[in-house]
Amino acid sequence: MLKAIFFGLGSATMLTLPAFSQLPRQSDRLQVVYPPNSHQTNAEQIFLIGSAPLAGTVEVNGQRLSRSELGHFAPSFPLTVGQNRFTLTYRQPSGATETKVVTVERLASAITPPRELAEPFPAVVIARQPQELVCFQVQAPAQAQVSVTLGRESFPLQPQMGAVLPSNAAVLTLDNEAPTGSFTGTYGGCQRFSEPGNLGQARYQMNFQGRTSTAASLGNIEILNSQALGAIAVTSAAGVARTGPGTDFSRLTPLPQGTQALVTGKEGDWLRLDYGAWIRANETQPIQGAVLPTSTIRSVRSQTQATSTEVIFPLQRPVPVTVAQNDDTFSLTLHQAIAQTDTIYLAESPVIRRLDWAQVDPETIRYNFRLKTDQQWGYDLRYEGNNLILSLRHPPQLGTNSLQGATILLDPGHGGSESGALGPTGYPEKAINLLISQKIQQQLTAKGANVILTRTDDRDVSLGDRQAAIANGQPTLALSVHYNALPDAGDAENTAGIGMFWYHPQAHDLAQFLHDELTSRLDRPSYGVFWNNLALTRPHEAPSVLMELGFMINPTEFEWITEPQAQDQLAGAIAQSIERWLRTKTSP
């Protein structure tokens, strides 16, 4: 799943690729496509991906390798901290040899407490409300005495014990257990402040081994006036709301353009909004003048259109929203909203059975749409002035014996300067993604479906443009076509199989169905079905699934991936599975 091309330290290592006029299944020389020389990694092991002519043998540091039927290899070797040297030797039957040397540096992963004060919080300007906890932290050596002063208040900080969690990518190798907590050099503590104003920098003091040192935070700390909070309006088409002030924090429901909210906190260029989510300041603009802290809402009505049912929520101001999907329920939450509702009108709709609502707390309303089936087909949220418009898409109307009426968007992953994963011969994932997508297109078109491709040749297509193709094309389904790789800690030689990735619940059943059908029909191993926050699983306009159809880096599976008859069988099985799923979900 981690590609472009492979990951070592969390950023991709790009390799120079040969130009391929045809799909290469075998190598005519010794090739090592990963890792590149002088590679750095935090992993405890590394795999070597490559190939050589089948006649002859390949050794690594004198150890003979087992290879696939076409001569590919992907062994893993343990790494010691520091430099690791791998000498690969190909011995031809004639006795001639070819040698390549790869060095890999394993970086120390243990966190060593510093000898001086370091990383004083905050590194950026932050703002909090009166009486809200402000939590300080700084790095210092063990057994030190550390304190912090802000304004006229000083208090001691305590050593913090805790586990450093593995990255999200660790779940892809089933190695995401939390380690035992230990002291990593962090001292911390929290305090409340009452008076609004700029309290300035946090000043830290350390007494250690008979000497005293000090450090000041780079950022100031401000306490906001809760009676005069600023307000913003979202300017992005879909403002990215998160659980915290940074891209490491999880995404929440995107905020429709025009959403208004009070700002209750700041951290650098991140703003905390009145309902708790954070958003980048550059996705907003300040609102001049007073903004209502809450909005009332009275009546609600719907109108049924050709391909969707629209529900209109008239508000005093555009408030933040949150969406949740269940099998037969679509839940819309309005934050900073108070109901004065007596009447709701729902027009006859192919999707909505009933609407229930409740004021779940004094400033939050939840609307639960009870649906007629357990499959949802996409939704959209937008503001038109102070009216929130929710569009729930209708199921497709299929032809009797064809897929006429269905539009399938296929997204061949990567392309242009972005190669994706490399197979042992250096064959890039971007090429097989396009080839298989075109084969699937042929199969679906023959069944009567309208098929949209996000690219038809080897070109760069941004993730934003791929997402826009889904939003603008309004397909019945969106499938992103990929082949897989692993982080350095993975076992490339023994990891294989088909995997599916989904984000919105409306896509889960499709992801599971495709996985089960393909592994069963084609007798392929299973890599699994994953919930994953990916650019091509996040679109909500249609059920969107990212397919990983096999591992480019697995020597044996690469041979299956590049075998023309197997490609035709795979494309046919995908098209048949799509048809079966659509028939099942649209039958009365």
pLDDT tens figures, 17-39: 344 435 578 899 999 999 999 99
At 426 the pLDDT is: 95
The one-letter amino acid code at 154 reads S
Long-range contacts of 196-201 (CB under 8 A, 24+ apart): 196/130, 196/223, 196/224, 196/225, 196/226, 197/222, 197/223, 198/222, 199/150, 199/151, 199/223, 200/150, 200/151
pTM of the entire predicted model: 0.93
Q: What percent of the chain has pLDDT over 90?
A: 88
pLDDT, residue 148, reads 97
Q: Which helix (H) or strand (E) holds 467?
A: helix 463-473
Supply the Cα-derived Rg of the chain in whole angstroms: 28
pLDDT tens digits for range 484-512: 999 999 999 999 999 999 999 999 999 99
Region 420-432: mean pLDDT is 97
CA 586/CA 543 separation, integer angstroms: 14
**3-state DSSP assignment of residue 305:** coil
CA separation (Å) from 351 to 79, 253, 391, 471? 56, 22, 11, 20
Percent of the chain residues topping a pLDDT of 70: 96
Please say if the pLDDT value at position 376 is more than 50: yes
Average pLDDT over residues 183-204: 95
Per DSSP, the three-state class of 74 is: coil
pLDDT at 5 over 60: no
Q: What does the pLDDT look like over 520-549, one tens digit per residue?
A: 999 999 999 999 999 999 999 999 999 999
CB 577 within 8 A of CB 583: no
> φ, ψ for residue 531 (rounded to 5)?
-80, 130
Local structure of residue 100 (DSSP, 8 states): E
Q: What is the pLDDT of residue 1?
A: 57
| Averaged pLDDT for residues 151-172 | 90
Confidence of residue 146 (pLDDT cuts 50, 70, 90): very high
Can you tell me the mean pLDDT for 374-399?
97
Per-residue DSSP letters for 397-462?
---TTS-TT-EEEEEE--BTTB---B-TT--BHHHHHHHHHHHHHHHHHHTT-EEEES-SSS----
User: Which amino acid makes up residue 23?
Assistant: L
Tell me what the mean pLDDT of segment 384-399 comes to: 97
Report the pLDDT value the prediction gives residue 585, as an integer from 0 to 100: 96
Q: Check residue 17 and give its pLDDT.
A: 39
Q: Are 464 and 492 in contact (CB under 8 A)?
A: no
The Cα–Cα gap between 319 and 207 comes to 50
Distance CA 277, CA 245 (A): 9
- Give 435's pLDDT tier (boundaries 50, 70, 90): very high
User: What gap in Å lies between CA 291 and CA 274, rounded to an integer?
Assistant: 12
Average pLDDT over the chain reads 94
Lowest mean pLDDT of 176-180, 456-460, 488-492, name the range.
Answer: 176-180
